[in-house]
Structure 1
Amino acid sequence: MAPPVLLDQLLHERTAALLQSATDYRRYAHHLSSRLHHLRKTLKVRRRIPAKAGKSASTTPADSAAASKYKTHVPSVTELSADKRFAGIFLLAAERAWAHAMETKVTMENNAAGAPERKRHILSRLAKARKHAAALESIVLNADSASNPFTDYEILQVVTYTALLAATGDIESRNYEKAVASFALAYTGLSGLVLALATADASDDDNDMADLYRDLISSTVEPALKFSAIQVDSSARSIAILALAHKYLPTSPVDKLVLRIAKDETKAKELLSGKSDAAEALSAIPTIQWRSHTAQLRDTVVAATILAAGAADEQLFSEVLLPSDDANKLSLREKAVRFDPALLAWQDAVDAVHEAITEVTNSSIEGAQQRVQELYIVSTYANYSLISRRIARDNVLVSQLRSALNKRHKKTSSSKLAVNKSVSAKVRATTGIYDTILQSVSQIIELPGVAADEALSNALSSLQKYYSSLRLAVAASGFSQASVDASTYWKKAVDEINCVDEMALNLDDVDNDNNARILFNVDVPGTRKSIMAGAATSQSFSETAKIVEETKLEAEQNRGSQPFVIDTLTSAAIWFDNRTGRTKFVDFERLVDLDNVASLTPVPSKPVFFDTAFNFIGYEDGIVQEATAAAPTKSGIEPEVTAPSQQDEKKTGWFWRR
């Protein structure tokens, strides 16, 4: 036999229908009509039965038209005892009426024409839905325990569904006093259903159903309950939802049903009493102290989240941050994981304060401006705590990466100037975390009230320069030590670490404030010493590499010719020998060439030298003169001798007359 149609099935069908537009609600209503028709057909139930035997007794035509000859079949207790599926006739009819009302409401929101008529139609549909659900509720509650086929869990579903429909009709009619009571009843019932399902050994179906109940509570019931309570009493704005539900919960058997079906008796009593951690948090944390500012807590939700964050902090400090044997046994990865509960708790506190600021800003209560100022102080305190722990977690992560990077550098030979891919990847990851830390410090600087605190602002500015110097130092290690980029990064890192003011980092309340203790716990002298050493090493390698390059360039230019021994011995050439691993200052091997000086022989002279010298003496000019003087003249006329030009006088000799 199929299970009865109750709240769990209706929620599944609502979720599957994806109700958003008027068309979706209309399609959902048609689906419900089809289901109701098939259910009646299966149970062999006539939709209408004769109202009376014979004709109506009405005398006037109007009364005859208004009087119905038939009435809707209402399942009896006997039918419900025989088959629980008869309950689906009530609930499907109620859900269909609710779907028609929501369709009209969405249509009215999109088109305001005919608003009064549509509003009356919405209220009539919701009243009809409530009537169907209330009829089933009265049957299951008034039935004898012996003849009642429904379990406590199913009865609570019926009561909760009826309260939801009643609350929807009351809030549509703006009857907020009834609406807050109905929503309180629905909240208690849904929370009881969650307690009955959400157990350690629950099945997947039970967990999915519990998630549907939680979604309905968070998306519909809690906002409507808060809104209705504020309309009734403006002071309810700072009261927790659980306390509001307990305050406005009407007399109902829902409390007994919750106690019967809840698997966790402690949580059930907490639900029904309204006394939870959120309700008692204000008495535990009445005020918040941040630096020189004090703010009073008025919102129980904010107080509860801060109290939970404080509890998570205690565990974090005891396990990770405080020096102890257990903390020393943890690896860096395990320490980073231990930060997650505290970070989530403080994030919840930040979200709660943000929501409280939004609610107070949009409200018209008295003293709203003062409450907003107090909430801004609480917001700064919560954000400051959250970011401080985030920076502490990032420091743990970056210390893990830096230790791995140092091990990698030790394995690499000192003579190897190139950086492999593994080192480059670790350098990129480390610089990325330092970028995150610098961004977090910038977020603290931008918090309200920090700019007016001169001591804290100076400390944060020095902290920013400190982490910037570490980032530059790590980035420098990603290049070869002899490169220009490494020297540039090391120089910038030295400038940044020299600008850090150690006195500014020593705040007055650093020992009493956990946030300041984990935020400004830095080693400036040790960092400055390591950066100076790295910069000196890089400069030494850079100068050596520069001299080597100059020597190579000179050797390339003088290729094919051997330098003089005296120049080699007096030069300041310094280079690194890769074969021996030592630095050479002079080339003593050139001293061997001095032994060859004694065996040098002069170059033999050749006759061409003498010929050249003889030609320069003017031997040809003498021959020409003698030949001219001795030559006879045939005509008796002396030959004309031209004087040599000025250019020929300059270019004399055998080389110029070839």
Structure 2
Amino acid sequence: MDITKFIVSSREKALLYGDHATYRSQLAGKLLHSRKKLNIATKNRGKFSPKVHVTPEQIAENHEYLRLQLLTAERAWAHAMSMKAAHSADKKGMTGKTRSHIVSRLEKGARYAEKLAETLSQTAASGATPTDVLEAHAYAALLRGAAQFEKQHWESCLKSYSVARIIYGTLSTSAKGDIFKDLLSETIDPSIRYAAYQAKIPRTQPIPAIAHKAFLHADAGLVERIKSLNPDVLKAGGGQEVKEDAVPVTEAAPTTLTWRSREVKIEDAAIAAAWASVATEKSRLSQKLSSGSLLLPNDMAAAYDDILTRSQDAVDATKQAIDELKSEGVTQSDPRMQSLQITRTAVNYELISWRIGRNRVLIGKDDGAHPDFGEAQKKKKKTDVEEVAAGTRHKDEAPGRQIARLKEKVVLYDGTLQSLEAATELPGVANDQELSSRLNATAQYFTALKCLAISRSHSIAGNDVNALALIKHALGQCKAALPVLSGNEDEDDSDDEDAEPSPRNILVTKQDIQLLHDLLSGEQQRSRALVEIHSLEKSSKASSNAPSSSSKPLVSQLSSYPAGGIDLENIVAYPPRVEAIPVKPIFLDVAWNYIDYPGNQAGGGGPKQAAATTAGKAGGAKKPLTTAEQQQEEAAKPQKRGWFGFGR
């Protein structure tokens, strides 16, 4: 009959494109069509016929009678929800008349659903299966709980919703379990939590325990029907899905949480249950990773999915608890709020820790410190995996593929550094000097690994100088982080040497940082040697190219000693070519005419002597001047400045 599937699918289809009023109008049309099919519809202008109770025999003959009852109950529920939605935005709130009208509609729907459940309980006459009977009882309890919720009768509301939760929890193990799980998480559990809060029930009690306690007053026949399907459902606490290794929540949930030597009390049941699930998944992860089977990095990373989901549930539960206290007007100085803030930091730090651990196993062995270009990341056969792990098989990859693999590592390192930055921003971390320094050292450790990966890509591309600079920076980061990470131990590790090793998380051990330091020291020496070899090769190429046609011959370089030896093939330029040669400037020739030398008075060699001879011939009787008189005459004349006598 699929009662729950019919109800859920009808609501989803109607609310996908409309609201509850649209759903109500659709149900009215379906009801009329159903009555016409059963030939019980009131004809036009005909006499009204009162509604007759549906018998089990009618349902056995035609399932349309079952559909008729469900549509009638759903129409009443849709009418109530449409009125509630229409008055939810009123500033004055919902009036008493409107609330009573909503309650009357929900009561009508609950009565129709209860009559249907009672009719189907006669399985011999109705032909209903035990699952159909339980679904009808759960639907009736759901509508009755909604009516009690609007009446604000919290005890009755808890009982009704507890019946629905136990039944849907029992049926959630079937093939249609997703539908029942959605009803539990979206409708029933929030209503039970709010009703329990109004009923002054402590929050330390989880929802399954509350539902189990309220279900003890249920009908004995209903209890027997549930036990016939799943005898252990009432023992596990409130109709939860029972796993093979599951532990009842009431017994396994922790009551305290320890964070950085501070122990706080867990007062919220959802946080306690989520934190217990984190501890359980941690042990499972340790067992899976410590098993003897060889796992590829992708398979190891997939093993972290469950613990990440449980950690996120703990974070969400803590946030919801803080929001509830804020809505109640609780101040930050309240002890409950202070405990929740510490819990919030602890669960967020745990979530970030496992995210970093997942990135570390994806990067590879030793956090990607050693190159693994020969190992393929895709899934292989078992023999191939064993050969790769043993190191007996190594296939060189192309340089482009190697650089692409290094880029993938750099992306994972960036994600890890972002997670570490988020961890430093958690409340209370900045005030914890020891934790803050350890997080900074961890960030320096992954920064060194990132620089190492980038330097390897430069080395593959042939940029040895850039690779050396990055290696030097990485070694500096590693040296700065070495004292901090070598002196701190994991807070969660016990002193027992036989304890199982913890999976990869945010903790960087002393062996990890020491291994990276030794590796970077060797890589620095190697990079220096490569750069030196590259420099020597460059200088040797330059010297080998020295006797080229463009270099000067030896005859032109006689003023300098040939340090590299004499090139006997480049003594002179051959064949000779026209070249500029140094010559005496022309102004020296001009100045030569104005220079008087001793002994040139008789012969006359300059313009001054020629001028004096010409003047003597022209004057005839002019007495020649003595040497002293000539000197006085020349001293009286104004002196010329410049080379050619042009004064300035």
TM-score of the pair, normalised by structure 2: 0.72
The correspondence for 1:30, drawn from 25, 30, 36, is 25
Alignment partner, residue 520 of structure 1: 508
Alignment partner, residue 431 of structure 1: 410
Following TM superposition, by how much is the alpha carbon of 1:425 offset from its aligned partner in structure 2, in angstroms?
2.9
Alignment partner, residue 495 of structure 1: 476
Alignment partner, residue 209 of structure 2: 243
The correspondence for 2:124, drawn from 123, 129, 146, is 146
Structure-to-structure mapping, 1:259-658, within 5 angstroms: 259-260=227-228, 262=229, 266-267=232-233, 270=236, 279-280=248-249, 282=251, 285-320=254-289, 325-326=292-293, 329-363=294-328, 369-399=334-364, 402=368, 405=371, 407=373, 421-479=400-458, 485-502=466-483, 505-507=486-488, 511-512=493-494, 514=502, 519-522=507-510, 523-539=512-528, 548=538, 559-562=550-553, 570=563, 590=566, 592=568
Alignment partner, residue 74 of structure 2: 95
- Tell me if structure 1 keeps the 8 A contact 2:236–2:248: no
Alignment partner, residue 184 of structure 2: 217
Matched, 1:178 2:167: no
The correspondence for 1:117, drawn from 72, 94, 97, is 97
Following TM superposition, by how much is the alpha carbon of 1:521 offset from its aligned partner in structure 2, in angstroms?
1.4
Alignment partner, residue 577 of structure 1: none
The correspondence for 1:18, drawn from 1, 12, 15, is 15
**Structure 2 counterpart of 1:125, one-letter code:** R
SS in 1 for 2:263: strand
Instruction: Give the whole-Å Cα distance in 2 for the aligned partners of 1:171 and 1:187.
Output: 15
Alignment partner, residue 44 of structure 1: 39
Instruction: Give the whole-Å Cα distance in 1 for the aligned partners of 2:74 and 2:111.
Output: 11
Instruction: Give the whole-Å Cα distance in 2 for the aligned partners of 1:469 and 1:181.
Output: 60
The 10-residue stretch of structure 1 (93-102 or 499-508) with the greater mean CA deviation from structure 2: 499-508
- Tell me if structure 2 keeps the 8 A contact 1:36–1:92: yes
Instruction: Give the whole-Å Cα distance in 2 for the aligned partners of 1:438 and 1:37.
Output: 64
SS in 2 for 1:478: helix
* 1:179-234 Cα distance to aligned partner (Å, 9 max, x none): 111111111222233233x3xxxxxxx4xxx3222222211111011111221133
- CA distance change for structure 1 residues 430 and 549 in 2, over 3 Å: closer, same or farther? farther
**Structure 2 counterpart of 1:290, one-letter code:** W
**Structure 1 counterpart of 2:210, one-letter code:** L
- Tell me if structure 1 keeps the 8 A contact 2:154–2:195: yes
Following TM superposition, by how much is the alpha carbon of 1:118 offset from its aligned partner in structure 2, in angstroms?
2.5
- CA distance change for structure 1 residues 28 and 504 in 2, over 3 Å: closer, same or farther? closer
TM-score of the pair, normalised by structure 1: 0.71
- CA distance change for structure 1 residues 594 and 542 in 2, over 3 Å: closer, same or farther? same
- CA distance change for structure 1 residues 358 and 34 in 2, over 3 Å: closer, same or farther? same
Instruction: Give the whole-Å Cα distance in 1 for the aligned partners of 2:240 and 2:506.
Output: 37
Instruction: Give the whole-Å Cα distance in 2 for the aligned partners of 1:7 and 1:498.
Output: 64
Instruction: Give the whole-Å Cα distance in 2 for the aligned partners of 1:623 and 1:452.
Output: 101
Alignment partner, residue 381 of structure 2: none
- Report the count of equivalent residues: 572
**Structure 1 counterpart of 2:488, one-letter code:** L
- Tell me if structure 1 keeps the 8 A contact 2:212–2:238: yes
* 1:505-553 Cα distance to aligned partner (Å, 9 max, x none): 4225554285899602143344234334444554555567678489969
Instruction: Give the whole-Å Cα distance in 2 for the aligned partners of 1:558 and 1:629.
Output: 61
- CA distance change for structure 1 residues 365 and 78 in 2, over 3 Å: closer, same or farther? farther
Instruction: Give the whole-Å Cα distance in 2 for the aligned partners of 1:45 and 1:650.
Output: 138
SS in 2 for 1:285: coil
* 1:426-475 Cα distance to aligned partner (Å, 9 max, x none): 33322222222222233333334444444333333322222222223333
SS in 1 for 2:126: coil
- Tell me if structure 1 keeps the 8 A contact 2:149–2:157: yes
The 10-residue stretch of structure 1 (536-545 or 332-341) with the greater mean CA deviation from structure 2: 536-545
Alignment partner, residue 187 of structure 1: 165
Structure-to-structure mapping, 1:226-241, within 5 angstroms: 226-235=193-202, 237-241=203-207
Instruction: Give the whole-Å Cα distance in 1 for the aligned partners of 2:42 and 2:247.
Output: 51
Alignment partner, residue 128 of structure 1: 108
Following TM superposition, by how much is the alpha carbon of 1:29 offset from its aligned partner in structure 2, in angstroms?
1.6
- Tell me if structure 2 keeps the 8 A contact 1:476–1:487: yes
- Tell me if structure 2 keeps the 8 A contact 1:240–1:278: no
Instruction: Give the whole-Å Cα distance in 2 for the aligned partners of 1:355 and 1:648.
Output: 102
Alignment partner, residue 133 of structure 2: 155
- CA distance change for structure 1 residues 7 and 436 in 2, over 3 Å: closer, same or farther? closer
Instruction: Give the whole-Å Cα distance in 1 for the aligned partners of 2:130 and 2:322.
Output: 41
**Structure 1 counterpart of 2:206, one-letter code:** A
Following TM superposition, by how much is the alpha carbon of 1:16 offset from its aligned partner in structure 2, in angstroms?
0.6
* 1:77-123 Cα distance to aligned partner (Å, 9 max, x none): 44234323212222211111111111111111234698343323212
- CA distance change for structure 1 residues 139 and 349 in 2, over 3 Å: closer, same or farther? same
Alignment partner, residue 226 of structure 2: 258
Runs of 5+ in structure 1 lacking a partner?
A: 50-67, 199-205, 409-418, 571-586, 598-611, 652-658
* 1:471-498 Cα distance to aligned partner (Å, 9 max, x none): 2333333335656644543443333223
Instruction: Give the whole-Å Cα distance in 2 for the aligned partners of 1:6 and 1:549.
Output: 88
- CA distance change for structure 1 residues 103 and 637 in 2, over 3 Å: closer, same or farther? farther
Two-structure CA RMSD over aligned residues (Å): 5.0
* 1:548-597 Cα distance to aligned partner (Å, 9 max, x none): 48996997999342465996853xxxxxxxxxxxxxxxx56x45559999
The 10-residue stretch of structure 1 (170-179 or 468-477) with the greater mean CA deviation from structure 2: 468-477
**Structure 2 counterpart of 1:74, one-letter code:** H
Following TM superposition, by how much is the alpha carbon of 1:15 offset from its aligned partner in structure 2, in angstroms?
0.7
**Structure 2 counterpart of 1:342, one-letter code:** I
Following TM superposition, by how much is the alpha carbon of 1:14 offset from its aligned partner in structure 2, in angstroms?
0.6
Instruction: Give the whole-Å Cα distance in 2 for the aligned partners of 1:368 and 1:637.
Output: 133
Q: Which has the higher helix share?
A: 1
**Structure 2 counterpart of 1:520, one-letter code:** V
Alignment partner, residue 606 of structure 1: none
Instruction: Give the whole-Å Cα distance in 1 for the aligned partners of 2:317 and 2:93.
Output: 40
